[in-house]
Structure formats: C-alpha cells, structure tokens
Structure 1
Amino acid sequence: MEQNTLHATQPLAAQPLAARPLTLGRNGRTPKTLRNRLASAPMERNYGTTEGLITEQYIDYLATRAKAGLAMVTTEATYVRADGKGRTHQLGLHTDEVIPGLRRLTDALHAEGALAAVELNHGGRTAQAAVSGFKNLAPSPVPCATAGGEVPRELTAAECHEIVGAYAEAARRAVRAGFDVINIHGAHGYLIHQFMSPLTNHRTDEFATPERFMNLVIDAVRAAVPDTIVGMRVSVVEGPEDGITADRQVEIIAKAHLEHLDFLDLSAGSYEAGEWIVQSGEWKPGVLAGHAQAYRRFGLPLGMAGRLNSPDIIEQVLRDGTCDFVSLARAIHADPAFAGGVLRGERYRPCIACNVCIDNLGLGQVTCTVNPAVGRSRVPVPTPAVREGSRVVVVGAGPAGLTAARELAEAGARVTVLDAGARPGGQFALAERMKSTPDFHRFAEWTAEENARLGIDLRLGTHVDTNDVGGLARDTAADAVVLATGGSRPAAGFPGEESPNVLDVRDWLAAHPEVLDGRGGAAPEAVTIWGADSVAMSVADTLADRGTAVLLVGAQDAIAPESGRRAKILAVPRLQANPRVRIRLGAAIEEYDGARVRIGGPNLPPGGEWLAAPGPLLVSRSVVPLDGAVPAQVRDAELSRTAGVPVTLAGTVVDQTPAIASNAVKSGYDAAQRIAGLLAPGATAANEPSLNGAAS
C-alpha cells in the first residue's frame, strides 16, 4: 500500500471542524455516522477489469485511503446496465457477478473504519458502442463529440422505464455487496443530467420535463433499498451558455423527490464544459462555494467538491456552513495522507492541479504527476530499504532527480543531489510561473521540505562531467549514482539561428523571472515562438495575458499535442481568441533575418511566406532521449561496469514517452527502486545489471 500516517486523537476543542462526525439518515431510516467530514469523490480511475469487476489494485487503492482516515470512500461512477458503460475498465453493478469482488472491497473499507459508498450511473449519450458493445441511448439523438461523437438512439418511453429499473437492481446489488451509502449520479452530463438539460432533451412526451426521469430513479432506488442512505450528485453549473443555468438547476432540484434522499453532493460541469468537472489550477480554491448556499433551502446535508486542495480551504467551507462534508478527488489521489493533513496537521504530498489524472482517463489507468506509485497496473511496491551507510549521488535536480533522491533517502540512503542550476526543480521551477499552472509551486515547496526532513544534501551551481561517472563516484565515495540530467536539445535547424536574438525558451525564462512573476519587470512588447508544444503554449498564454504580442509557429498540427485536453482546456481557446496572438501550425521556420521569419509547409506556396517576427525568437524544443533501441538495462549495465558502482538513468534520457513532468517523476521513482534493490541488505554482485538485460 501507499504510505500513510497513523491515527491520532485530539481533544474535541482542539480538533478541526473536519474531524467532527456527521450522521446521515432521515425519515426513519437507520442512520450512518461518518467519523469525520472527509469523503472521497467518485473519481474514475480505470482500475477495474474489462468486465466491470473490481481488482486487487483497486481494492488496495481505496482501502489505503480509508486507512488514511477518510470517513466515506466512494467508488467511481459505476454503470447500472451494460449499455451505460463509458470506460473500458469502468466498474459495473450491472450483473450479480460483480457482487463478490465488491464485497471484498466493502469488507476492506469497513475494516479501516470507513463507510463504503457507490455511485450509480448510466452514460447515455456519452457511452459509445466501441466501448460498451451496445448502441448508445439517450433522451434525444444528440451526439457527444467529446466522448466520440456517436449519434445515440432516442429512448422510447418504455425503455426509459426499463433503465429506471436497472438503477433499482443495481442498488439492490450494492446493498448485497455491503455498501452503506448509494449516490445517484445526476451530474456531469450523464443520463439523468441529459434529461435535465435543454441541450440534450428535446422530447415532447412525459420525459420532456427535466425532473421526470430523475424522480423515477430516486423513487425506484428508494423502494429497492428502503433503509439505505441515498444521496444524489448534482452539477450546480452545467457550463455551456445554452445549458442549465445555476438558478435553473436549483429550480429542477426543488422538484426532486427529496424526501427519499439523505444528502446532496454538489459538483459542476458536463462533457461540453469539462473545465467545470475537474477545475484548472487557475481557478480559486472552493470554487463552488458561491453556488452551494442556494441548496441550503432543501434542508439536506450537503457535500461539495471543487478545488478543495488544502486544509485551510476545507476548514473555511465547513466553518462558513457552505457544506457539511467535502468530496475529495485529486487531493487524495495525489496522496492519501492529505486526510491526515486536514485532520491532524500532518505532512502530505500536494496536488498541483495539472490534470494529468483526468487526461489519462481516455488512455488507460489514471496516474498522477506527483505520486508515481498510483495507476501503474499493480499494487504499489514500497522502495526497499538499503544497507546502512549507503551513499547515493543524484545528478540533476529536476522532477526525476528530486523524486529519485527522496525515495532513496526514505529507503535509508545518504543522498547528495548535484545540479548546475541556480535553483532546484528543472522545468517545474519555470512552470510554476505560468498562467495555466500556478499550483506547480506546491511541488517545489514540498520537495524543499522533504529535502530538509530527510537530510538530502542539495548542491546547486555544481557542474558534473557525466562522461566520467566513475570519477564522480570516487570523488564522492558514492555507492551508486543516478543520472537524471534530462536529455539533449536539438538545434533549431534554420538559417539565422546563430543570431543572439534566438534563444531557447527555457534559458530565456530562467534569465527573466521578473517578466513572468510580476516582480516589477515589464513584459516584452512582442515575442516570436518557434514550436507549439506544451511549453510554448504556456509561455505564449502567459505573455499574451500580460499584453505581449505573440507569433507562434509550430510544425505540430495542434497546439500542445503531447498534453491532454484538460491540461489546455483554458489556455488554447484564450490564445485562439486573442487578437494580439498569431498562430501558424503545420509550418516550419526555414529562415530568420533578425526581424522576419520565412515559414514553409505543405499548405504554403513554394518558397514559403515571410512574416514579421518582432522581439526575441524563443525556441521551444523537446529534449531528445538517448537511443531507444538500446534497452535501459543494457545502458545501466554498461555505465555500472565503467563506473564500478551501480548507475542508473532517470528522466527523459531514457523515457520514450513525451518529455513531461509526470513521466519524469515516474522515471525517477523507478530509478530509485532499481538502485535501492541493488543496495538492499543481502544484495550481491549477482544482482548487478548485466548485458543480458537482467536486473534485480
């Protein structure tokens, strides 16, 4: 399991509001008491099987968070019928076959003192035949482009009633599986929400009224499980301009059969407004607080999600009476110890709102940039303890190097980190000043605290000859070396690049921090950026926000293709709408004369096109990994043999995945585990990497 902290007790007067218990249950139903005000939100993770069954990995993940102190642990949106399945590895409650596995989950959660909750869902128009194997169904034949664009078949009235019955059957299975709480998913653009919204419900029959289908589901679930705690998740804002307004959503909920519910769980957004479902780091903490007060009129306990990423904001919304409990997703995904941070002031690894988690949802298992132990197709394996007195040198203080250093120090090694820069963090240190990634500073601050706690010796301004790793090991008396120096940056590749006006964008950012962080430096009047990767996007967006005119030229067909949709959901539309930003994609800079660039491409005339290119020309180029044809184990073995001590590579020097922080952190974590295995008590020369690719 992932690391977490031990429970502790405090006098009631000294406890935060979040630590106080909360009892749910009304109208004669047997109450259930949450031991505190922290619940996990129904965050989708793709940790199940393709048949909708739970896995040991998923049970471990949720039980770890229960052990950390959450009062109520909720599964992801769980489909009630096979044609409502929206993810390849989504959990299901569609058949009795899922019950034994879910019973193992609820037993594990109860053993840790948490209530077990499940969210009932049907994807409707968002479910696609390519995933579910069934034609998708919806209130009206309105496709969901974000989910895949399949045009759904309009449900008949009889079919609407059949799906209502599926919710009831799923609720019965949930109780048989041992769940204490059922949460009906009425938000985020799924089937119940589709009946509410004028964008997706164009019907003229009994289901034309937005509350009709919702109430049938509420009634059916309550009849199926009369003594179970039942709530409903609601999007307080749908998002699109012509969708459900905040006031209209309150009117719809006012017509709900609230006597059958025990709580409301407030969220926001829809598939057409994903920025509301999982909010960007640009948005203020507690972003939904202003909408919650309107739901107090219903007299039900309120849960609330939305940028609740620190103990302070959680205490604030509870103290203000905004909600009665909080629904946490990314914060406890990044570290289950966040619960201990809220309840007992313990340390935790902070979420940085990068949204790699949600962007991975369409690709596979949901991982995390700052927590490399989650979402990697296995129960996390702790880094093994090393022999007493082991010394490790890590070269590079970027995300990979800092991660490797922390893991090895936690394993008992004496760690020294060497870096040529003036501050640690690598690209993280630059990204924290970008408009779209303001929470990245939290990683830097946490890392600095961890370095101090673990006694890591960080030496900046130190140049290392990585071609002489053996000399480095001898000079530092290292028992092992981790090389986390990133990779090489290719030449820009056009005539005129030798001009002093042509600068690598990272070098320019490092030389001009005041331009980006508002410490009195004026933003340049204009810049030209060659490259359209995520770095170029962030820099262009940040400078444009400060009034700079930007010319962005990229060979890519889209801006930041290596980033997921949510990571750029605000920045790209801003750039496209800004009249001071010129964007030319699918084009290459072929010449630069100091004031203009000549661009060429398949859609340009022979000889290309000259464009005015004022200001510095900033080149954004991804680092180039080492030869991917050589297995990492072979490279490690060759380096180790030359150096005379175990050596391993980390970061983009070995990754063949996009050069983003999430991949660097994972690479650093894996490198630390390899080195720790070689330095573990009892490890022998037989464990050393060899040319046949075997490694301990």
Structure 2
Amino acid sequence: MTEHNTGHAARPLTLGRNGRTPRTLRNRLASAPMERNYGTVDGHITGQYIDYLVTRARAGLGLVTTEATYVRADGKGRTHQLGLHTDAMVPGLRRLTDALHAEGALAAVELNHGGRTAQAAVSGHKNVAPSPVPCAVAGGEVPRELTAGECHDLVAAYAAAARRAVAAGFDVINIHGAHGYLIHQFMSPISNHRTDEFAAPEHFLNLVIDAVREAAPDALVGVRVSVVEGPADGISAEEQVAIMAKAHLDRLDFLDLSAGSYDAGEWIVQPGEWKPGLLRDYATAYRRFGLPLGMAGRLNSPAVIEEVLGDGVCDFVSLARAIHADPAFAGGVLRGETYRPCIACNVCIDTLGQGQVTCTVNPAVGRSRVPLPTPGVRQGARVAVVGAGPAGLTAARELALSGAQVTVLDGGARLGGQLALAERMKSTPDFHRFTDWSAAENERLGIDVRLGNQVDSRDLGALVRETGADAVVLATGGTRPGAGFPGADLPGVADVRDWLAARPEVLHPDAGGDVPEAVTIWGADSVAMSLADTLADRGTAVLLVGPQEVLAPESGRRAKILAVPRLEQNPRVRIRLGATIEEYDGGRIRIAGTSRDGADSEWLDAPGSLLVSRSVLPLDGSIPAEDREAVLAREAGVPVVLAGTVVDRSPAIASNAVKSGYDAAQRIAAALAADPATPETEPAPRPYEPVELSMNGAAS
C-alpha cells in the first residue's frame, strides 16, 4: 500500500525546555507504548523484544518507546511485562537503548503502576489503589487502599525507576497518567473516594512529576493523558483539561494524548468503525498549555498523519497498531513506500491476556520464535496455491518472495475468500485493506491469479499437469458441515457465506439494495455476530440462536466491544444462546436448551431466511493433517501442504489463516529449496523483511 505525503512527518522536532539539554527527533513519528508480553516473567527485556523495537527504529521512527514498564512489583499487570523495579533491569535495557541509538532513534520508557488493574494472580502481590474499588475488567480483585505514607512510597518508586531509566540510557521518560492505571485512578471519581490531600485529582500526579524530574533532571519528561476517560461517571474531556491545568507543566517537555480506561477499552484501542484521527477534536484544548503535543488514536495511514501534523493538531504522532502490523509503515509515511496495512481487527490487544501479542496481517510477530525468511527455492520452481483467502494469499506472497513462480486458483469472483465478505460488516470496515494490499502484491510479484477457477481437490494430478506445479498449497477452508437438523434442506436455508456472496448489494447502505425485513441466524460465532449486528443496524429484525454460551467466543473482548452491546440492547434482536436447533418447518424452529435434563424444547417463529454459520459444527478432524497431506502428495505426485482451517483446528479467524498460510509457504519452500552449492540455482534476493528474535535470542 502506498500513499502520497507532503513531508510534515519528516520534519525534525526538538524537545527540551527550561534549560534542559534539548534533543532532536529526526522526524515526527514515535512508537506508542504498546504492551506485547515479549519480556521475561521477572520483567527483563529479551532478545526477541530488543529486535522487535530495533527493527522499527531501523525502519525510520524518530522515537521508540517501551511498553508500560512497571516501577514496583505490585504494579505488574502482565505475565511478561517489562519492569524497571530493580537495578537488575538496567543492563538489558542499556543493550536496547544502545541499539536504538545506533539506528538513529531516540529511546523512551513509559513508567507505570497498575494500581487496581494489577492482580495478585499475575504480580504475586496484593494490589493497591487510591480506594478499594475493584476493576472488574482486569479480574475484579478488591485492592487495598493506600495510606498517605504508602502513596509517598509509590512516588519514590517512580523516582527510583526514573534514575534507572537514565542509567539505562533512555532519552525520554513518559509518565503513564492514562488508561485507568494508578495515576489515572487518583484523577478519576470512579476510583478515588479519598478525603485526604490525595483526594485532589492532580495531587499524586504532581508528586510523581516532581520526583521524576528530580531523579532525571536532564531527561525529556512527559505525561501520557487520557483526553476522555469513557464511562459516563468518569472524567469528562473538560474535567481532564482542568486537571492538567493544575499539573506542574513547567517541569514537563511534552504531553502525549491518548484516551480511555479499562472500563472503556474501546477508547484505548479504537475499533475499526471509528474514524481515523478521532482524538484531534480533543487535542485543541491542550494547545493552551504551550507544550509540544503527541497524539495517538487511529492514525493508520500516511494521509491522516500528514493531515493532523499539517493542521498543527499535534507535534508528533504515537503509532501502535500500524507499525506492529508492519514497521515499513514508517517508510510509507516518510517516503511513500509500500507497507502492509493494519486492518483494526484488534487481535493484537485481545491476545495480550493470552500470551505474546500477535497480528492478523503480519504472521512474523509475537510467536516466540524467529520468523526466518522463507527459504529461497530452486530456479524455475512452480507452486500452485488453491484458495485466494487469507491463507492462500499469504502463502502465495511468501513463495513468490522466495523465488517461486506462483499460480493462485479460486472459484470465487474476487480475492479474499470469506474475508472479502467481512469487509462489508459494520464492525470491520478496514478489512478491505488487506485484500487491496494483497492484490497489489500479487501484481508486483508477478503472481498468476485465476479467479472463477474451481479446483477439484480430489484430482490434484490434473492441477499439477495444468500448471506444471512442483508443489501445491491447499488453502480452501475445508469442507462445510451440514446444518444437522430436519428441515435443513428446505427453501430459505442457506450458509451465511453463500447468502452474502449472492447479495453483494445488501450490506452496502449507499448501493440502494433492500435489506431483508427479518432473518434467523443459526450460530453465534463471530460471523453470525457480525452479520446480525450489521443487518440490525440497517433495520432488520434478527433472531440469533446458537449453541455457544456467549456471542463470538472465538473473538477477543475488544473485537466485539461495540457489536455485542448493540445487539443485546436492540429491541428488534432476539438472542438465544446455549440452544440448538432440533427442527425447522419453513417458518418456525424447534430449539432445545442446555438444561440439566436436556428435555427443554420449544418452537419459535423463525422469520425470513434461516442462515447457517459454519462454525456451529466443527470440521472433520478424524484424519491427521500429515496423513491427509501424504495421501494427497501420492495422488498429485508432488509435495502438498494444507493451510487454513482445512488443517488448523484453532478458531476459523483471519489471524489463524494468515499464520497457517505463512507456515505452509515455509514448508513448501523447504521442500523446493535451492542448493546453495549450485550458483545457478540461487534464488532472487528478497526485499527487506523484519527478523525478530526468540525469547532467548536464538532461532527456535
């Protein structure tokens, strides 16, 4: 993906006030303090994490920031979060800052304490907070209320961490005063019910600012601020500005604007349906303070970044998801280069509670391993990829980069497979960016794409003869299970995906298509949720019945943070979970619940079409994938590798499909590897790709 830019982002920015040594960012691009779980369990940085950040510095960022880094052990909120709580952290972080400086970037650390969001199960310590108000989203542990003396002890912990940051070589110290963590908890009426001097929302913040400045007199120091907390009973936009007006701003060098709290997570990591650059309307009020401003918030394209910088909304931008999806995004902003786009699916934030943070569109990050470049293949090697969904497109690109001549065949009319259907959903409007980028990559790499070409996977020999393939990747998504109840073959019953594919105009509000008056959806997976949410938004009455106990269990909380409440609150939407369809008579369904005796059964009116979402029933996993591949390879006469849900028993989501396609490509390339001893078979050189080290710094 490429876009023209006008150069505002490329201008250097010098920070430093009141006699402090100024430091210059080479451009206006900073990495935001995005948590990733790439550290060790005791807070040390790893080779994997250093390489991840250095890769982004090498791509051109002016300022590279660590994640929220805890200042004391009881403030740790993630299993593998970085710490600055002891002197033992300093040597590893010095290796990081030296490496960042060698790439021309300034190094920043964000100091944080989780407060009530930290949980004993993670930190090993009782959590503490301004008041004993639990954070249900974080786990619900009731924190112990800090005494006044303990508040001062925590201030000292911030100061000690700041001294360690200087010793570790950081140029910039960013104090985390946002997102519902400890400093923000002192500001918010939700979490601060005190009556002593710490009842004043700015008091703890000012003590921390003063202590950090005393501990790091020559460092650049800023504060990250949530311009709006989110909940109705939280800090309003106007109240937050008033709090910051009382902050010791003369001791700061910048403000970094973000938004939200744990109780309003959609503001911290914004959904794809929200407009890019959405915090610009809040940033204007902070210009009165005369401090340089950084800003986050859906800054996902060079165009929007140039706009907010060119309009003077902010002085630098804090980038998280865009450079996680591809460090080359920096080159896209600065020089108009091609980059892999973020699609705002929020898999990254949703995997934070499960382990290492991964990415839907970039399979090379967060997998506790070195994503080694796909091996070069022998000269003239040909590969046929069956399926143009996320798995097939990923495999095709990787193999083309390795030097193979790749043919992609798909029975559909356009790229993307089921992802192309998701592009039309209300909550996933950015998904088209992956398909558009893939199409451009296909053209750039000379991949032969043959749409409307249905391949019979039972006769791969014919495919091999037709394409001259030396290997085959099957990325067809697997066989669709039957609906599984009497009446499933009646008119009006259709697979959700077939129904959508046959009605391209239905979900385009501007296309003039008529939406159905009512539909019944069998299944409560993410596909069903997205379709129900989109149709209900356009006025369709929806009955949604599924065996799942919650809506879209395979999706993380942030991926459905807006859609689920909308469905639950819409009077035209009926939801019956934990229920199965036993029978359909053309206008009604008989459902059985999940009561202990299993005898509950009732008939419900089932208006409109009855749409079946595939993941109601699992794919057939009775035959191991490696056995199926062996059989197919014997029939085809060439290596065959399965990709996507045809092999992967994990949830059928785009993130898993892309990873599966990437792994399939590496297996095929290994089978077709060039002989390094034979010069004429050397593969074409690959363009630069990030290489990220494993937890121990070695390949695994």
Aligned match of 1:422 in 409, 413, 421? 413
The letter for the 1-side match of 2:645 is T
Offset of 1:423 from its aligned partner?
1.2
For residues 325-346 of structure 1, the C-alpha deviation after alignment (integer angstroms, 9 at most, x for no partner) is 0000000000000000000000
Listed as ranges, the matches of 1:657-676 within 5 Å are 657-676=650-669
Matched, 1:103 2:63: no
Matched, 1:23 2:14: yes
Listed as ranges, the matches of 1:368-379 within 5 Å are 368-379=359-370
Offset of 1:385 from its aligned partner?
1.4
Whole-angstrom CA distance in 1 between matches of 2:165 and 2:628: 51
Tell me the equivalent position of 2:313.
322
Tell me the equivalent position of 2:53.
62
Distance 1:514 1:61, change over 3 A: same
Q: Is the 8 A contact 2:224 2:256 kept in 1?
A: yes
For residues 48-78 of structure 1, the C-alpha deviation after alignment (integer angstroms, 9 at most, x for no partner) is 0101011111011100000000000000000
SS of corresponding position for 2:363:
coil
Distance 1:144 1:466, change over 3 A: same
Offset of 1:388 from its aligned partner?
1.5
SS of corresponding position for 1:286:
coil
Tell me the equivalent position of 1:48.
39
Whole-angstrom CA distance in 1 between matches of 2:181 and 2:232: 18
For residues 485-526 of structure 1, the C-alpha deviation after alignment (integer angstroms, 9 at most, x for no partner) is 111221111111111110001000000110001311110000
Tell me the equivalent position of 1:655.
648
Whole-angstrom CA distance in 2 between matches of 1:654 and 1:72: 41
| Higher RCO (CA-CA < 8 Å; seq separation 6+) | 2
Tell me the equivalent position of 1:263.
254
Tell me the equivalent position of 2:535.
543
Tell me the equivalent position of 2:690.
none
**TM-score normalised by structure 1 residue count:** 0.95
SS of corresponding position for 2:357:
coil
Aligned match of 1:175 in 166, 172, 184? 166
Tell me the equivalent position of 1:122.
113
Matched, 1:285 2:279: no
Whole-angstrom CA distance in 2 between matches of 1:501 and 1:626: 26
Distance 1:637 1:292, change over 3 A: same
Whole-angstrom CA distance in 2 between matches of 1:311 and 1:123: 33
Q: Is the 8 A contact 1:487 1:624 kept in 2?
A: no
Offset of 1:556 from its aligned partner?
0.7
Matched, 1:275 2:262: no
Listed as ranges, the matches of 1:343-492 within 5 Å are 343-492=334-483
Offset of 1:380 from its aligned partner?
2.3
Tell me the equivalent position of 1:520.
512
The letter for the 2-side match of 1:198 is P
Tell me the equivalent position of 2:671.
678
Aligned match of 2:554 in 562, 575, 581? 562
SS of corresponding position for 1:350:
coil
Aligned match of 2:66 in 48, 62, 75? 75
Distance 1:289 1:635, change over 3 A: same
Aligned match of 2:574 in 576, 582, 590? 582
Q: Is the 8 A contact 1:353 1:439 kept in 2?
A: yes
**TM-score normalised by structure 2 residue count:** 0.94
Whole-angstrom CA distance in 2 between matches of 1:556 and 1:317: 43
Listed as ranges, the matches of 1:300-311 within 5 Å are 300-311=291-302
For residues 66-96 of structure 1, the C-alpha deviation after alignment (integer angstroms, 9 at most, x for no partner) is 0000000000000000000000000000011
Offset of 1:379 from its aligned partner?
2.9
Tell me the equivalent position of 2:621.
627
Whole-angstrom CA distance in 1 between matches of 2:391 and 2:622: 18
Matched, 1:573 2:574: no
The letter for the 2-side match of 1:583 is I
Q: Is the 8 A contact 1:60 1:379 kept in 2?
A: no
User: Alignment identity in percent?
Assistant: 79
Offset of 1:399 from its aligned partner?
0.5
Offset of 1:465 from its aligned partner?
1.6
The letter for the 1-side match of 2:562 is L
The letter for the 2-side match of 1:247 is E
Q: Is the 8 A contact 1:677 1:683 kept in 2?
A: no
SS of corresponding position for 2:674:
coil
Offset of 1:650 from its aligned partner?
0.5
SS of corresponding position for 1:119:
strand
Distance 1:419 1:479, change over 3 A: same
Tell me the equivalent position of 1:32.
23
Pairwise CA RMSD = 1.7
Offset of 1:17 from its aligned partner?
0.3
Whole-angstrom CA distance in 2 between matches of 1:43 and 1:638: 45
Tell me the equivalent position of 1:205.
196
Offset of 1:469 from its aligned partner?
2.0
Q: Is the 8 A contact 1:278 1:306 kept in 2?
A: yes
Offset of 1:605 from its aligned partner?
8.6
Q: Is the 8 A contact 1:422 1:461 kept in 2?
A: yes
Whole-angstrom CA distance in 2 between matches of 1:629 and 1:644: 20
Whole-angstrom CA distance in 2 between matches of 1:626 and 1:540: 27
Q: Is the 8 A contact 1:601 1:608 kept in 2?
A: yes
Matched, 1:531 2:523: yes
Whole-angstrom CA distance in 2 between matches of 1:524 and 1:40: 45
For residues 435-490 of structure 1, the C-alpha deviation after alignment (integer angstroms, 9 at most, x for no partner) is 00000011111111111111111101112121222332223111111010111221
How many pairs align? 674
Aligned match of 2:133 in 126, 142, 167? 142
Whole-angstrom CA distance in 2 between matches of 1:658 and 1:406: 23
Matched, 1:596 2:588: yes
Tell me the equivalent position of 2:682.
none
Whole-angstrom CA distance in 2 between matches of 1:422 and 1:638: 30
Offset of 1:656 from its aligned partner?
1.6
Aligned match of 2:177 in 186, 189, 200? 186
Distance 1:520 1:561, change over 3 A: same
Aligned match of 1:646 in 628, 632, 639? 639
Q: Is the 8 A contact 2:593 2:600 kept in 1?
A: no
Aligned match of 2:607 in 614, 627, 630? 614
For residues 518-565 of structure 1, the C-alpha deviation after alignment (integer angstroms, 9 at most, x for no partner) is 311110000000000000000000000000000001111100011000
Offset of 1:412 from its aligned partner?
1.0
SS of corresponding position for 1:19:
coil
Offset of 1:609 from its aligned partner?
1.3
Distance 1:39 1:292, change over 3 A: same
Whole-angstrom CA distance in 2 between matches of 1:492 and 1:171: 60
Whole-angstrom CA distance in 2 between matches of 1:455 and 1:207: 64
SS of corresponding position for 2:138:
coil
Q: Is the 8 A contact 1:483 1:650 kept in 2?
A: yes
Whole-angstrom CA distance in 1 between matches of 2:675 and 2:302: 42
Offset of 1:596 from its aligned partner?
1.0
Distance 1:333 1:242, change over 3 A: same
Offset of 1:358 from its aligned partner?
0.2
Aligned match of 1:509 in 500, 507, 527? 500
Offset of 1:304 from its aligned partner?
0.1
Whole-angstrom CA distance in 2 between matches of 1:520 and 1:596: 30
Q: Is the 8 A contact 1:624 1:653 kept in 2?
A: no
Offset of 1:155 from its aligned partner?
0.5
The letter for the 2-side match of 1:575 is L
Offset of 1:639 from its aligned partner?
3.0
Whole-angstrom CA distance in 1 between matches of 2:636 and 2:459: 8
Whole-angstrom CA distance in 1 between matches of 2:535 and 2:552: 17
Q: Is the 8 A contact 1:626 1:654 kept in 2?
A: no
- Unpaired stretches in structure 1, ≥5 consecutive residues: 685-695
Whole-angstrom CA distance in 2 between matches of 1:330 and 1:659: 22
For residues 414-447 of structure 1, the C-alpha deviation after alignment (integer angstroms, 9 at most, x for no partner) is 1000111111101110000000000001111111
Whole-angstrom CA distance in 1 between matches of 2:160 and 2:494: 63
